[in-house]
Amino acid sequence: MSTPIVIPQLGNEIEEAQIDQWLKAVGEEVAAGELIAVISTPKVTLELEAPAAGVLREILIEADEIAKVGATIGVIGDA
């Protein structure tokens, strides 16, 4: 089973965020709730938690790139 890592809704006015940093590499194991990426907007920075336990299978949006709210930026698969 795979679980998408999604840019969450950020207030009523923010439409996109930059991926500042991936805290895990593709192939690394993660626990549910473990910090997996840092994303930022002009106003606020957020540490994203892994939505499920498993292995970071894919990074779809690399660090320093911009993603829309609701976009999938990576995928966690079964360990």
Partner 1 sequence: MTGARAETIDIAGRRLSFTRGPSVGPTILLLHGFGADRLSFALNEASFAGVGPTIAVDLPGHGDSDVEVGDGGVADFAEIIADFVAALNLGPCHIVGHSLGGAIALTLAAGRPDLVRSLFLLAPAGMGHGVDRAFLEDFSELADAEAAEALLQRTVSRPRLINRHLASRVRKHLEKPGARAGLKRVARRLLGLDLARDGTLEAIARQTLPRAVVWGREDDISPRDEVKLAALGAEIHVLAGVRHLPHVEAPAAVNRLATDFLKRAGAFRTWRG
Number of residues that bind partner 1 (CB under 8 A): 21
What does the per-residue mask of binding to partner 1 show for 2-41, with x meaning CB under 8 A? ------xxxxxxxx----xx----------------x-xx
Burial of 48 (0-12, 13-18, 19+ CB in 10 A): buried
Q: Does 66 bind partner 1 (CB under 8 A)?
A: no
Q: What length is written for the chain?
A: 79
Q: Which two tokens stand for residue 77?
A: 């698969």
Q: Is 46 in the site for partner 1 (CB under 8 A)?
A: yes
Nearest C-alpha neighbor of 34 from the set 62, 63, 76: 76
**Under the rule (CB under 8 A), what is the footprint of partner 1?**
8-15, 20-21, 38, 40-47, 49, 69
